[in-house]
Amino acid sequence: MNPSGDIASQQGRLIVVSTLLMLLVIVPVIALTIWFAWRYRKNNTAARYEPDWDHSTQLELVIWGAPLLIIIALGLLTWISTHTLDPYRPLSRLDADRPIPADTKTLTVEVVALDWKWLFIYPEQGIATVNELAAPVDVPIHFKITSSTIMNSFFIPALAGQIYAMPGMQTSLNAVINRPGEFEGFSANYSGAGFSDMRFKFHGLSQENFDQWVAARKTAGAHLNRPDYLQLEKPSEKEPVRYYGSVDKDLYHAILNRCIEPGQMCMDQMMSGHKMEQAHE
């Protein structure tokens, strides 16, 4: 509820509007419950007593009409927001007042949920980080998200809603950060002993500061290859931030398709071969 990105801002507004619409029923019901309990208490002999009363058209219209209208409003709101805030849908604006400039290039970040840490790969910048993420302000970000072992959930509340990470599958999130700052990111899905410490910092930076951040990561010296990844993948708790100045270009593809170790056939190759066999049959 303290958004710094346009998607989180829209989601926060959706929660507020939905809550207010529901309160249109909840508040009168609670108020009338208290009023009826007081009005028709045992020792209030002045209250009207009508034991044969059983129907009121006006009251039925209110009882059924008001909730029906609210449900219709909530349904329309949900339908519109489901399509507008689809995490797979490319962004159409930076915020409510600014469309995305025509020459803006989207930043791609490949996210891997490990036990119990986060690996972020920047394929265009050629770097990788563990438990630290950064992006320039007012630049669309496209997250490609997967997991190494079990289902997890990638969540930066100030940026956008949570997105699940699953092994052998890729989910996506499109978002933008609108102001500089340091924000909290974490796992929102219980995944074992180290779950509580599976947290990271997300830095919203100016373009100049982001370029400096990338340059500083490139001088880290370490190279992330498949053998190093297999060591990193092993379960560990309270993992410190670390940087890789370079990374194998096909590492994320191998993680996603579960073919990190030598001799393993990638899932996409396996499925492609199966489809070809079906075509020949």
Query: Higher-confidence residue: 281 or 75?
Result: 75
Compute the C-alpha angle 154/140/99, nearest 5°.
Answer: 135
Q: Indicate the range of 43-52, 70-79, 211-220 predicted with least confidence.
A: 43-52
Indicate the DSSP class of residue 88. Answer: T
**Between 99 and 271, the higher pLDDT residue:** 99
pLDDT level of residue 281 (50, 70, 90 thresholds): low
Q: What is the pTM of this model?
A: 0.85
- List the beta bridge partners of residue 186: 155, 199
Of the chain, the percentage scoring pLDDT greater than 70 comes to: 96
Give the model's confidence band at 277: pLDDT under 50 very low, under 70 low, under 90 confident, else very high: low
Percent of the chain with pLDDT over 90: 72
The secondary structure element, H or E, covering residue 15 is: helix 6-39
User: Tell me, what's the pLDDT at 276?
Assistant: 47
CA distances from 12 to 2, 16, 74, 125, 177 (A): 8, 6, 15, 32, 15
How far is the first Cα of the chain from the last one, in angstroms, to the nearest whole number? Answer: 56
Is 136 in contact with 205 (CB distance < 8 Å)?
Answer: yes
Please state, rounded to an integer, the average pLDDT across all residues of the chain.
91
